[in-house]
A and B are shown apart, each in its own frame.
Chain A
Amino acid sequence: MIESQVESFLPLKTQWFHILLSLAGEEQHGYGIMQEVMQRTTGKVRLWPATLYGSIKRLIEANLIEESSARPAPEFDDARRRYYRLTPLGRRVLDAECERLQELVQAIRSKQTMVTERG
């Protein structure tokens, strides 16, 4: 039952994948997610604000992430910020997506060796 629910999200949209990946470690606020994605991809993927918040809204609606009540130390906090974390479902979806991508990478690698050997 849950398996099929997880399957139904795959393959994940790029933005969704990056947002979920950013939340894999710790809770983050929206702008924080944007920055992390930028750093992780060395500026190759930029989540523009409307896209980001639209995606966050859909992810909440899909029950993949949720708002977290935990807040950082007051000196780092900003009252306007909301923090998000993965739901258990969100974590499973992310795992499944990572696995799928790894398989894909494996497949590409094996093909590449063949290509290199021949070359």
Chain B
Amino acid sequence: MNIAWPIYRRLAAAFPHEFKLAFGDEMLEAGEEAIPDVAKRYGFLGLVRLIADLLVHIPIEYLNEMRRDLPYAARSLMKSPGYAVVGIVSMGLGIGLTTNVYSSHWVLFMRTLPGVANAEQLVTAENPASYPYIERYRETKDLFSGVAAVRNSVEFNVALNGRTGKPERVYGQLVSPDYFSVLGMDPQRGRLLRADLDKTGATPSVVVSDRYWRGRLNADPDAIGQTIHLNGQSAIIVGVTPPKFDGALTANPAELFVPTTVPAMLAHELGNDVLSDRSAKDFQMLLRLAPGITIDAAEAALDGVTRRLDKDDPLAPPQQDKAKRVVLLAAGTRVPIPREFRSKVLGFYIALMAIVTAIACLNLATMALARAASRRKELTIRLAVGASRFRLIRQMVTEGILLSLVGGGAGFAMAFGMWAVTDHTPLPAGSPISPDTALDWHTALFAFMLAVVCGIGFSAFPALQGTKTDVVPALKEGAAQQLSGQRRFGLRNLAMGAQVAGSLLLLLIAGFLVLGIANGNNISTNFDQKTMVFLFIDPIRDGYTPEKAQLFFARLPERLSSAPAVTSFALAAQPPYQLDDDDGFQLTVDDPRAASPVQKEVVKQTVGAGYFAALEEPILAGREFDQRDQRIDDRATHGSRDRVTTLPLVLNEKAAHALFGKDNAIGRHLRGNRRAYEVVGVVPDMKDAGGMIHAIAYPPLTQYDFAQPPGGGITIIARGHSAEDALGGVRSVVASMDPNLTLFNAQSLSEYLVRIRSAMRSALRTFGGIGIFGLVLSAIGLAGVTGCAVAQRRKEIGIRMALGARNSQVLGLVLRESATLIAAGTVIGFLGAVALAKALSAITSAFSDVFTVGVDDPRLLIGAPLLLAGVALLACYIPARQAAKIDPLQALRQE
């Protein structure tokens, strides 16, 4: 016999078990006889052909076997619909949640900016800078190959040429002309902004985003060269950005890119000489590192440059010398996040998602284990009649994969649904959250991979366990079964304990987050929230001169107070209860006696006369602003160093306490943002729409603000008997003064709160979903497992009852075992959650904000474990009651 024979024999042994059972012997016989014949007839090549024939057919036979597994798996799942439903629901929830979080957050932090060259070289500074500083930074050619200035979320009233109707408000970025060359971007159409073409005095050009071009210009190729009216001034559309690009350094999509070289009439943010004012820190920086320069080196060098610049500026606020003045972050992704923060944010999401996935898998694993136990007889019979163990495992894993693929489909549908809901939620006017978190094929692929991994994960282990059976005793259906059930640290018990622990961990972490975010979901007002409305008005962007605008605002209060429908009103630079917009306002106590000046950063909210009266907030000390304060004209003194007007200032309690401790704040002097202030009043702390209480300083709304309105316009706050009354009243007053003025974003306080919280609501939905998911899953899992345990112990329970055990004793017996597991799991999960929350809040301040609220909340700390334990016990109680109802005679006869 030649060398072909051993190879043939080996290969023949590699065929699937079922195939070998039917044809193995014959194939060996055929080979034995054929090999000499083939060798004689065709020689060596014939033998090669023979072996090749085997090699080709092995995978074919395996595939053929597998193809039969799938319908079998589907049939067997359909036979136990409870298990299938639990499986699909848990996998669907798990995969859906994970996919949703993946697509909404991961992409935001991880995807590099579309259309950008060498995105990893892009950096930005954590804090905004003034334009003159940025120009000086641009001179450091050895550090940066490009430096651009960006001002985010600039609103424009846009009218397209040849189209009638009211102008539309569009968000854009005000950028230095080298913005696109720093990004290294090529236009999709036309040209992008260029430093050599878009000089001061040139015809204003504007670049539009791909989205704007498609959405508003109908993808018209002739749009290039068209005139567009921005805030009443004409500009030429010169180009379109590459698809999906809507601004660097911002989560808010920008649709227009306007150079900083345009006249201030076109972009009012350029007024007041911001381009030469060293104190106007209005611009974000976009820097491109020179080749070979690390971000740390650049940061250190830039810090030095900044220190020299600050030293030359006598008006710059005194700073502690040690603190870094410039902190750089990578800016190549959609949302720049601090470097040390980045890995933690990602780690947190990965950990959260891993727990979700693990719980879903554990849940199914425990169910699958229990199912394997109840399928023992089926499995054993199949083993006894000759099915290989591998074959059975393959069958069970196929079932698992099938289940999680269906679950994955459900999950993807859920993720899509959640995304669609979020996508269609109206967004708050001031902060358009990026809609570009659409699910893409990455997400689908991710969900699919997750499903397959989960499927293998939860089914392989029970399959190995379930098929490790001694055929004979199992067939006898006797004691062996109970022996394995009694093992204290059996796989099932471990899985169940881990599941309770994991679910509680999830429930608590989600609870911390939800409480942290939703804490103040009910801001308390001393009036009916439905009777208050906000409207926004911006006469400057409607073409008024500053003087005309000031005159308008001077006459407006008088007219509003004579309108019968409006019971109270106030003007402000921003709506009340607004979320902290990071507009840090540094205040220094002006006290010559103090050795080191007290310096605090507070939130600034500029408000007009009668603001607190309109909100029905009491004045705790001093007074609030009146019409005289609103008439202060500090435009001339703003930014100049010689004559400084002292402005009145109202503080809330928290700010007063932070600045002056227990001392009386009234009459004290403060400095901040190049102005002097005198505290005239103290008001109570009010929660913002996110439930947080900040230290807030309220400077007065002055003629400066009317001539130079903030980005969102001036807010008119009005109350009437109903929202409609108040709205109608304000509208008719404004229309009687000038019918051409635009009143935009009119809404009642309750609508406003709903909208401003929409971004949070999606986070809340996610985290709340995760918490409920944990609860539901563990309940389902525990009920399923206990149910199976009861089913397995029917005989034992029957004997106990026949020997006189009472119902309550049987109930106790079943519950005791589960209760131990639940208690152990609860303790572990509780400690884990608290430790994790503490660790996370210690690591980053961003988490500590949210976690501090929840971690100390007794409702959560006591409630969540109780809730989980209660639900878990209830879940076990139902099958335990079934156990107590077992009729001993029937149970014993069944065997």
9 tightest CB-CB pairs across the interface, nearest first? A48-B53, A50-B57, A80-B25, A53-B23, A31-B30, A49-B30, A50-B54, A50-B53, A30-B26
Please give, as numbers and ranges, the residues of chain A lying within 8 Å of B54 by CB-CB distance.
Answer: 48-50
Choose among A29, A34, A43 the residue that contacts B34 (Cβ–Cβ < 8 A). Answer: A34
User: Please, how many angstroms separate the alpha-carbon atoms of A31 and B34 in the complex?
Assistant: 9
Which residue on chain B has the smallest CB distance to residue A78?
B29
Contact B53 A57 (CB under 8 A): no
Please give, as numbers and ranges, the residues of chain A lying within 8 Å of B22 by CB-CB distance.
Answer: 57
Decide if A59 is an interface residue (CB 8 Å cutoff): no
Decide if A93 is an interface residue (CB 8 Å cutoff): no
Contact A81 B26 (CB under 8 A): yes
Contact A30 B23 (CB under 8 A): yes
Query: Using a CB–CB distance below 8 Å, which chain A residues touch chain B?
Result: 29-31, 34, 43, 48-54, 56-57, 78, 80-82
Please give, as numbers and ranges, the residues of chain B lying within 8 Å of A53 by CB-CB distance.
Answer: 19, 23, 26-27, 30
Which residue on chain A has the smallest CB distance to residue B19?
A57
Which of A50, A51, A82 has its CB near the most chain B CB atoms (within 10 A)? Answer: A50
Contact B26 A48 (CB under 8 A): no
Decide if B803 is an interface residue (CB 8 Å cutoff): no
User: Please, how many angstroms separate the alpha-carbon atoms of A31 and B37 in the complex?
Assistant: 12
Choose among A49, A54, A56, A78 the residue that contacts B50 (Cβ–Cβ < 8 A). Answer: A49
Which residue on chain A has the smallest CB distance to residue B8?
A49
Contact B56 A82 (CB under 8 A): no
A15 CB, nearest partner CB in chain B, Å:
11
A48-B50, A50-B27, A53-B19 given; name 13 further pairs at CB < 8 Å. A30-B26, A31-B29, A31-B30, A31-B33, A48-B49, A48-B54, A49-B50, A51-B57, A52-B30, A53-B30, A54-B60, A54-B61, A78-B29
Decide if B232 is an interface residue (CB 8 Å cutoff): no
With contacts A43-B41, A49-B50 known, is A80 near B29, CB below 8 A?
Answer: yes
Please give, as numbers and ranges, the residues of chain B lying within 8 Å of A56 by CB-CB distance.
Answer: 23
Size of the chain B interface, CB-CB below 8 angstroms: 22
B342 CB, nearest partner CB in chain A, Å:
56
Secondary structure type dominating chain A contacts: helix
Decide if B711 is an interface residue (CB 8 Å cutoff): no
Please give, as numbers and ranges, the residues of chain A lying within 8 Å of B49 by CB-CB distance.
Answer: 48
Which of B25, B27, B30, B57 has its CB near the most chain A CB atoms (within 10 A)? Answer: B30
- Sample 10 A-B pairs with CB under 8 A, ordered by A number: A30-B30, A50-B53, A50-B57, A50-B58, A51-B57, A52-B30, A54-B61, A56-B23, A78-B29, A80-B29
B326 CB, nearest partner CB in chain A, Å:
72
Please give, as numbers and ranges, the residues of chain A lying within 8 Å of B56 by CB-CB distance.
Answer: 50
Decide if B710 is an interface residue (CB 8 Å cutoff): no
Please give, as numbers and ranges, the residues of chain A lying within 8 Å of B28 by CB-CB distance.
Answer: 80
A16 CB, nearest partner CB in chain B, Å:
15
Choose among A43, A51, A54, A80 the residue that contacts B26 (Cβ–Cβ < 8 A). Answer: A80
Please give, as numbers and ranges, the residues of chain B lying within 8 Å of A52 by CB-CB distance.
Answer: 30
Which residue on chain A has the smallest CB distance to residue B42?
A46
Decide if B31 is an interface residue (CB 8 Å cutoff): yes
Please give, as numbers and ranges, the residues of chain A lying within 8 Å of B60 by CB-CB distance.
Answer: 54
User: Please, how many angstroms separate the alpha-carbon atoms of A34 and B34 in the complex?
Assistant: 9
Please give, as numbers and ranges, the residues of chain B lying within 8 Å of A54 by CB-CB distance.
Answer: 57, 60-61
User: Please, how many angstroms separate the alpha-carbon atoms of A43 and B60 in the complex?
Assistant: 26
Please give, as numbers and ranges, the residues of chain B lying within 8 Å of A51 by CB-CB distance.
Answer: 53, 57
Please give, as numbers and ranges, the residues of chain A lying within 8 Å of B34 by CB-CB distance.
Answer: 31, 34, 49
Please give, as numbers and ranges, the residues of chain B lying within 8 Å of A81 by CB-CB distance.
Answer: 26, 29
User: Please, how many angstroms separate the alpha-carbon atoms of A53 and B28 in the complex?
Assistant: 11
A64 CB, nearest partner CB in chain B, Å:
16
User: Please, how many angstroms separate the alpha-carbon atoms of A19 and B345 in the complex?
Assistant: 66
